[in-house]
Amino acid sequence: MLLEAEFWVAVAFVIFMGIAWKAGAFSAMTKGLDGRANRVRHELDEAKRLREEAAAVLADYKRRRAEAEKEAESIVAGAREEANRAAEEGHRKLDDFLARRTKAAELKIAQAEAQAEAQVRAAAAEAAVKVSETILRERLQGDAAQGLIRSSLGEVRTRLRS
8 A C-beta contact, residue 118 and residue 154: no
DSSP state string for 9-57:
HHHHHHHHHHHHHHHTHHHHHHHHHHHHHHHHHHHHHHHHHHHHHHHHH
The reported pLDDT for the residue numbered 148 is: 64
The reported pLDDT for the residue numbered 4 is: 86
pTM for the model stands at: 0.42
Please list the helix, strand and coil fractions of the chain in percent, rounded to the nearest 5, in that order: 95, 0, 5
The reported pLDDT for the residue numbered 12 is: 93
Rounded-to-integer distance, Cα 153 and Cα 132, Å: 8
Report whether pLDDT(79) > 90.
yes
Q: Where are the domains of the chain?
A: 36-154
Residue (of 122, 128, 120, 129) closest to 149 by Cα position: 129
The pLDDT tens digits for 51-76 are 999 999 999 999 999 999 999 999 99
The reported pLDDT for the residue numbered 99 is: 93
Window from 40-44, 95-99, 129-133, 155-159 with minimum mean pLDDT:
155-159
